[in-house]
């Protein structure tokens, strides 16, 4: 009896200690026990390791909720969500601008065909239309370069050689017969491998989907085919549109192969910079065009949200995903954008609004702002941005100082992750997320699990705050047409404009001490692609950074030497 009493006493002490510990942890913050309870309510089941991985992120989410609650939201403020009760409708025919490129008598075909690989779309189009170069010759050139350099850069998922040769021969036949479709006719291009291509694998960069094949093309793919462009490759993306690590490796920066090309439009940027395609298509939810374009030194356009149909593209965030081109120049971006924008009756978020390209527009007639405080702050590569300001001064442009709205923008970041978790709900519940290459804290598997714990009320409240942000940005853009942003400075611009949907052009404006490109951003009004591209074009007409390209053979040789030295050590 005495032993039984002692055992009961020990048990009671242990229970009290356990309860005391749990109370202490409860007072201190979230615990894995809290996650277990939430899992039960949500009908989920994570393991102990996954719960521990989630804790830090859930604490940050909680801090975000608290920060958002500090801003008073009137009852009349609705969330930035659009309910569309009507089924998708076929749209009536609408006019797309036909862009005619002026002749350039001084344009010649280089003796070294590899130099041709770095020509702009505008120059390639003139050569093709003048039948000084055939689409088949150009396509074979790019296919050869893809085979030679693609493996080193790890930027190709699938080479679409048979399709490309067929499309090139058709383009040459049509041009010879006088049926010229426009500036993209016969130009080889590459697609980020989250765009569906009929009968060709579309891997989304991730092991669980690496063998999937769709039975239709994405709208963007269809429109480029209608424009006469030639698809030569499906290009890499970070798995499920995060970073530059995909199931086959890590896509490299052609300027410095020790660096990744950034993401998630990693292959699109790398292949364009390396002269493996005439242009490429990428996507952005939160930096996936801006970041790799910066790293690889190409020009990228992230259009206004609702401008380019996402039908047939992998969904990550239905309220933030955008599709745009990565090219050698702003003018090239205008040509590609003109071919792909507009309603298709499939993506119900697309708005019908004309794009009128005016390459001769005097930019002094536009009101151009700049983030004065950001340009004056201390940050890496600041001197490159100062030369940008000096260039606009030479162009007789009076820059207007502006400030971005002061709202808890970063705290709204879980809008994206919550939508992404919904997009890949089955992947999480089936535990097939274990197949993804990246598994650490902040990787998609962890993010998807944490996002299951975002309360619906907080998601809606964040979208109400987003409405407020959109209203503040609209007030700001009443006074300007375009504004300049230093990419290297710490600002909230990338988060703001991806939440509000404003168009951005990013382009090279110099190099860092290690020889890698740096960039500047131009942001325009909603639906203001024509103005922001024209300002970017004017800057490029006054500089030559967009004309420079990496010495691939030398850079690859250097990378191999360093790898061999590391292996020997």
- The one catalytic residue in 120, 135, 203, 288 is 288
Three-state SS sequence of 92-130 = CCCCCCCCCCCCCCCCCCCCCHHHHCCCCHHHHHHHHHC
Residue 360: how many CA atoms within 13 Å on its side-chain side? Answer: 4
- The one catalytic residue in 135, 203, 262, 264 is 264
SS3 381: coil
CB 226: neighbour CB atoms within 10 A?
A: 13
| Cα 247 from Cα 510, distance rounded (Å) | 32
Question: 85 Cβ partners below 8 Å, 6+ apart?
Answer: none
Question: 85-111 burial string, b = 16+ CB within 10 Å, else e?
Answer: eeeeeeeeeeeeeebebeeeeeeeeee
Pairing state between β 322-327 and 299-302: antiparallel
| Cα 560 from Cα 558, distance rounded (Å) | 5
Does 192 participate in catalysis according to the annotation? yes
Q: Looking up tokens 């860092």, which residue turns up? A: 512
Pairing state between β 299-302 and 504-511: antiparallel
- The one catalytic residue in 64, 120, 135, 192 is 192
CB 207: neighbour CB atoms within 10 A?
A: 17
How far are the Cα atoms of 295, 370, 483, 506 from residue 388, in angstroms, in the given order?
Answer: 18, 11, 12, 13
Residue 269 corresponds to which tokens in the numbers above? Answer: 């940027």
Q: Is the dihedral of CA 321, 326, 332, 335 positive or negative?
A: negative
Q: Looking up tokens 């971006």, which residue turns up? A: 333
| Cα 530 from Cα 43, distance rounded (Å) | 49
| Cα 255 from Cα 549, distance rounded (Å) | 8
Q: Is the dihedral of CA 399, 405, 406, 408 positive or negative?
A: negative
SS3 254: coil
Q: Please list the active-site residues.
A: 192, 264, 288
């Amino acid at each position: 009896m005495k032993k039984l009493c002692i055992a009961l006493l020990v048990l009671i002490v242990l229970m009290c200690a356990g309860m005391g510990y749990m109370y202490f942890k409860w007072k201190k913050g979230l615990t894995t026990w809290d996650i277990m309870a939430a899992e039960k309510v949500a009908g989920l089941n994570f393991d102990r390791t996954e719960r521990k991985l989630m804790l830090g992120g859930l604490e940050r989410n909680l801090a975000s909720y608290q920060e958002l609650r500090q801003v008073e939201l009137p009852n009349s403020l609705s969330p930035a969500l659009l309910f569309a009760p009507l089924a998708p409708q076929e749209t009536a025919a609408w006019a797309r601008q036909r862009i005619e490129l002026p002749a350039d008598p001084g344009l010649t075909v280089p003796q070294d065909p590899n130099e041709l690989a770095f020509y702009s779309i505008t120059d390639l189009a003139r050569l093709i239309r003048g039948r000084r170069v055939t689409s088949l010759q150009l396509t074979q050139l790019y296919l050869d370069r893809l085979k030679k350099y693609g493996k080193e850069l790890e930027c190709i998922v699938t080479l679409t050689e048979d399709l490309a040769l067929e499309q090139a021969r058709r383009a040459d036949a049509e041009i010879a017969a006088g049926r010229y479709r426009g500036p993209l006719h016969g130009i080889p291009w590459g697609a980020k491998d989250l765009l569906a291509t009929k009968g060709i694998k579309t891997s989304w960069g991730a092991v669980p989907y690496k063998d999937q094949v769709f039975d239709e093309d994405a709208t963007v793919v269809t429109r480029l085919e209608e424009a006469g462009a030639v698809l030569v490759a499906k290009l890499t993306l970070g798995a499920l549109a995060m970073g530059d690590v995909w199931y086959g490796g890590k896509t490299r920066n052609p300027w410095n192969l020790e660096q990744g090309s950034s993401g998630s439009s990693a292959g699109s940027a790398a292949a364009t910079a390396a002269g493996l395609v005439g242009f490429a298509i990428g996507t952005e939810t939160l930096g996936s065009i801006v970041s790799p374009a910066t790293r690889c030194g190409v020009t990228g356009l992230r259009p206004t949200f609702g401008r380019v149909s996402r039908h047939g593209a992998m969904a990550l965030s239905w309220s933030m995903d955008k599709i745009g081109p990565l090219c050698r120049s702003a003018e090239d971006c205008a040509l590609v954008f003109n071919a792909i924008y507009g309603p298709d009756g499939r993506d119900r978020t697309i708005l019908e609004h004309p794009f009128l390209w005016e390459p001769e527009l005097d930019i002094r007639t536009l009101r151009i702002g700049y983030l004065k405080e950001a340009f004056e702050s201390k940050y890496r590569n600041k001197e490159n941005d100062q030369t940008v300001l000096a260039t606009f001064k030479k162009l007789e442009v009076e820059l207007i100082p502006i400030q971005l709205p002061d709202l808890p923008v970063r705290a709204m970041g879980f809008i994206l992750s919550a939508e992404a978790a919904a997009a890949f709900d089955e992947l999480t519940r089936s535990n097939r997320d274990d197949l993804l290459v990246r598994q650490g804290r902040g990787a998609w598997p962890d993010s998807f699990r944490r996002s299951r714990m975002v309360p619906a009320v907080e998601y809606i409240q964040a979208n109400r705050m987003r409405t407020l942000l959109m209203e503040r940005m609209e007030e700001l853009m009443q006074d300007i047409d375009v504004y300049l942003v230093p990419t290297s400075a710490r600002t909230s611009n990338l988060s703001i404009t991806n939440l509000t949907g404003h168009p951005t052009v990013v382009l090279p404006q110099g190099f860092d001490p290690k020889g890698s490109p740096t960039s500047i951003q131009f942001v325009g009004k909603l639906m203001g692609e024509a103005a922001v591209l024209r300002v970017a074009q004017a800057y490029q007409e006054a500089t030559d950074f967009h004309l420079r390209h990496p010495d691939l053979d030398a850079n690859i040789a250097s990378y191999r030497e360093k790898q061999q030295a590391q292996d020997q050590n």
